[in-house]
Structure 1
Amino acid sequence: MEDWVKECNGMNKGEFVERFGFLFEKSPWVAERAWEKLPFGGRGDFLSKMAEVVLSASDEEQLMLLNAHPELGAPIPMTEASVKEQSGAGLDRLARDEAYIFSELNRKYRDKYGFPFIIAVRGLTADMIADSMLLRMQSHVEEEKRKALEEVFKIALFRLQHLEMDRAVVGGGKG
């Protein structure tokens, strides 16, 4: 078992939410409820129990979680994690015509589904993201909501991996 998992198994609720509340965009309630599922057997169990919290949440809570995510490529305030993720995909450097295309795609997607297009952008380019958005706009609402939640879980995994790397560097590989 990873050292950080052992450490989080011993955290009080406040410490746990402080450390992991950011994994799900502006939705610390996921970490609050996941804490109730302690202990965790490892990273997989940790992420699985977080996903269980989201999947067992009400439709309204799930939509609030999805709507907490920023539109991709939009020049709007967003969390530090989202800024880094979008920057890594080049979405902060879109040319004027690309920014317009993203704006239109975002509008059409939100109009159809009622939440922003969500995709884990790590390793993707702006063109790949736009192509994915066009493809996914052909999905039915429930299918697309399921896909968006799957992407939320991938984003949480990537954020957790980033946190693990930061802790390894800061903690000299011991945490």
Structure 2
Amino acid sequence: IGLHCRLIGRPGKLAGLVRFLDHVAEKGGAWFATRSQIADFWAATYPSLRYERPSRMDRDTFVARYGSIFEHSPWIAERAWQLELGPAHDTAAGLHNALARMFRSATREERLGVLKAHPDLAGKLAQARRLTAESSNEQSSAGLDALTDDERAAFQARNEAYVKKHGFPFIIAVRDHSRASILQAFDTRIANDTDTEFATACRQVERIAEIRLSDLLP
């Protein structure tokens, strides 16, 4: 409630303040704080986060930090850096917008290259521990690093069938799913035509990037 003299001094405003004070006196539980007290409370409860801001990074630092957000595709970060990023891009949502714009504006062949850069789910690279750190953490979040032999065989059969039909790996943001829901999505999406799956896979790539950025930025 603002108590600026030019406002609260008006009869109608002052009458409202009186009613409010009467209400608080009856109900209790209100905190009458000064602006300084409010600022101190906010600073203690929601402290400022100090982090290296993407918009202030040089090209090499930016690409090194965010070049793996889109799997094995640092060219997306390189193009995003050239956009002359500003403070609006210093959050996960803001930077995701810039990176996704570069991905969406790429040629189909370039986007296909990004899709093909993704590993099979619970595939041979995972078994050989040759995934990127991001992919390894994501697959383990859904328990794909602890499959039974039968479960691993089920994933492998679906991986092979999907790639044979569509020409790129099955891509899904596994941190949004469980093993059961991933298998269900496999069975649903493998029946789609390739153009539909290409669009779906691209959306999933962007979702994966969004999750990865949320781990790095506020």
SS at match of 2:209: helix
Output the CA distance in 1 between the equivalents of 2:198 and 2:50. Answer: 34
Output the CA distance in 1 between the equivalents of 2:59 and 2:139. Answer: 30
1:157 is aligned to 210
2:80 is aligned to 34
For 2:100, which of 44, 48, 51 is the aligned residue?
51
For 2:155, which of 82, 99, 102 is the aligned residue?
102
Identity of aligned residues (%): 37
Output the CA distance in 1 between the equivalents of 2:98 and 2:205. Answer: 14
**Consecutive unaligned residues in structure 1, runs of 5 or more:** 166-175
CA RMSD of aligned residues (A): 1.7
Q: Displacement, 1:3?
A: 6.1
Output the CA distance in 1 between the equivalents of 2:100 and 2:157. Answer: 31
Output the CA distance in 2 between the equivalents of 1:67 and 1:51. Answer: 17
For 1:13, which of 31, 38, 59 is the aligned residue?
59
Select the structure with the greater relative contact order (CA < 8 A; seq sep ≥ 6): 1
2:113 is aligned to 64
Instruction: Please report the TM-score for the alignment, with normalisation by the length of structure 1.
Output: 0.87
Letter in 1 for 2:65: R
Q: Does 1:89 align with 2:89?
A: no
Output the CA distance in 2 between the equivalents of 1:98 and 1:127. Answer: 10
1:124 is aligned to 177
SS at match of 1:91: coil
Letter in 1 for 2:116: N
Q: Displacement, 1:123?
A: 3.8
Instruction: Please report the TM-score for the alignment, with normalisation by the length of structure 2.
Output: 0.71
Runs of 4+ in 1 over 2 A off after TM superposition: 42-45
**Consecutive unaligned residues in structure 2, runs of 5 or more:** 1-48
1:25 is aligned to 71
Tell me the matched-pair count. 163
CA contact under 8 A between 2:96 and 2:213: conserved in structure 1?
Answer: no
Question: In terms of Rg, which structure is larger?
Answer: 2
Output the CA distance in 1 between the equivalents of 2:120 and 2:110. Answer: 19
SS at match of 1:154: helix
Output the CA distance in 2 between the equivalents of 1:46 and 1:8. Answer: 8
1:173 is aligned to none
